[in-house]
Amino acid sequence: MKKTLFVILLSTLFFGCYDGERNCDAVRTGKFAFVTEVNEEKVTSVFERFEEFEVEYFNQKVDTSTIRWLNNCEYILQHKTPKNRAEQKAVHIKILTTDESGYTFEYGIVGESQKSKGRVNKITE
């Protein structure tokens, strides 16, 4: 009984604190794809991120946003030429975990408490 309890406690200690890998340098720049659901339909947005800006290709439109890195894994994304009030709002993005094929992230409008999570897959280096 004591042995079983010890193994359970030891397992909890090792695996309970595991946050996943977070090598943000590997996904700081490159070409990525983000798949999400809009009106119960899956849509894909492809974007290319450079150090200080990002170019997004969605629905045969191209948008450019500036990037301001807060730290190695967090940045603020701001449309360069917003077309409406919603696009004027900056988005805070925090990379949560990374792996060889991409990363998971949390995002939300700057100043608002509501956050969402997503997954981005890296297309090229």
34: domain CATH number is 2.40.128.490
Per-residue pLDDT 10s for the chain (125 aa) are 544 434 444 344 444 444 567 899 999 999 999 988 888 899 999 999 999 999 999 989 999 999 999 999 999 999 999 989 988 999 999 999 999 999 999 999 999 999 999 999 999 75
Q: Total structural domains in the chain? A: 1
Backbone CA torsion sign across 80, 26, 71, 107: positive
Domain that holds residue 93: 22-124
H/E run at residue 97: strand 91-99
Q: Does residue 5 form part of some domain?
A: no
Question: Structure pTM?
Answer: 0.78
